[in-house]
Amino acid sequence: MSDKTTNGPDHDPAQDIHFWYTEYRFGHRAAFQMKVDRHVFSISGKLQRVDVFDTPQFGRVMTLDGLVMVTEKDEWMYHEMLVHVPMFAHPDPRRVLIVGGGDGGSLREALRHPRVEEAVLVEIDANVVETARAYLPFTASAMSDPRATVVIAEGGAYIRDHAAAFDVVIIDSTDPTKGAGGLLFTDEFYGNCRKALRPGGVMSAETEDALYDLPFLTMAAARIAKAFPVARLYWGMMSAYPSGTWTYTFASAQTDPLAGYREKDALAMRGQLRYYTPGIHRACFALPAFLERALAGR
C-alpha cells in the first residue's frame, strides 16, 4: 500500500514537503509560524544564535535565538517609526547614535537625512553585523556609507563613555528578556542616554508590544520618564512582531516631538519612505484608552 493510497487518492506526498519556523509567544500559549523555503545561514556564538531563512510570505528573515528580528516584508515599518520620529523632531540632527540594530535598518533610515554628518552603530554581537552584511543587503547596505561608523561593543558601556556627543540616540534593542537586550532597559542606562545627548538632543527607544507585555511596557516607560522630563509613547504597525503593533518611546530634556517638528523636511523625504508620513508623525502619539490607563497606573 503506497503513501498515496494511505493519504487518499488526491494526495501527492511529493507536493507536501514543507518546513515551518515556529515562534512560541506569550509564555508558550500561542505561536506564529512561517513556511520556510530555505534555511540560508545559522551561527551560534557566545551571545546568541543567529539564523537567516527565506520564506514565501515574509521574504528573507533574520532571527536571534529564535525570535524574529527582521523580515524583508515589514522591517521598514519598525525602522521608519523608530528613526524618523526623533530625527524630524530634532531641529538639526548631525550626530546620531544607534544602540543595537546590528542589521543596519535603523542606520539606513538615519542616513536618509542629509543633515547627518556621522551615524554610529554600536552592536554588541559581531555575528549580527556580519550576518546582515552577507545576507540582508536591504538593511545592511547603509553600513558602507562614508558617514557610518560600526562599533562592536556593549551599548551601555559605550554610551556611558560618550557624554554630550549625539543629537539623536536611537535604542534599537532586542527582547528585554535576553541577556544583552536586558541591559538596555535599566535606570542607569536611560540616565546615561540623557547624558550622551548634546543640548537639544532627543532619544527614541523601542519599548515592545503594547498588548501582551504591558507590565514590561509600563516599567520601561516609567524608567524613561524618570530620566527625561519629556517622555511620550507612540506606536505603529509591525505585522511580524507579537500582537502586530509595536511601541516606541520618544524622550528629551525639553524638545516636544510635535512642537518643533520639521514637517517641510519630512514632506521632502516622502517619496523615499513606505510607512512614515507627516500625518503619521502627528497621529502616532494618540494612544488607545487601555494604554493611556496602563501608563497612568490605572
Q: Which residues bind its own copies (CB under 8 A)?
A: 20, 22, 26-35, 55-58, 74, 77, 210-212, 236-239, 243-245, 270, 273-277, 279-280, 282-290, 292
- Contacts for 47 with CB less than 8 Å, ≥ 6 apart: 124, 125, 127, 179, 180
Least Å distance between CB 291 and its own copies?
Answer: 9
Q: With the C-alpha atoms ordered 36, 42, 44, 47, is the resulting torsion angle positive or negative? A: negative
Q: What are the angstrom distances between the C-alpha of 289 and each of 208, 210, 233, 258, 295?
A: 18, 12, 13, 21, 10
* Cα–Cα–Cα angle for 194, 122, 205, rounded to 5 degrees: 45
Of 31 and 151, CB closest to its own copies: 31
Q: Which is nearer to its own copies, 52 or 184 (CB)?
A: 52
Query: Shortest gap between Cβ of 139 and its own copies (angstroms)?
Result: 17
For the bound state, the minimum distance from the C-beta of residue 210 to its own copies, rounded and expressed in Å, comes to 7
CB of 238 to its own copies, least distance (A): 8
How is residue 266 written as a grid cell? 519630512
Residue 20 or 41: the one with the smaller Cβ distance to its own copies is: 20
CA distance 50 to 32: 18
Structure-block grid coordinates of residue 13: 506526498
Nearer to its own copies, 125 or 206 (CB): 206
Could you say which of 51, 74, 125, 172 is catalytic?
172
> Measured between alpha carbons, how far is 35 from 22 in angstroms, rounded to an integer?
9
Q: Closest distance between its own copies and the C-beta of residue 58, in Å?
A: 7
172 included as an active-site residue: yes
Would you say 159 or 210 has its CB closer to its own copies?
210
Contact by Cβ (8 Å): 238, 275: no
3-state SS class at 105: helix
Burial of 31 (0-12, 13-18, 19+ CB in 10 A): exposed
Catalytic residues: 172
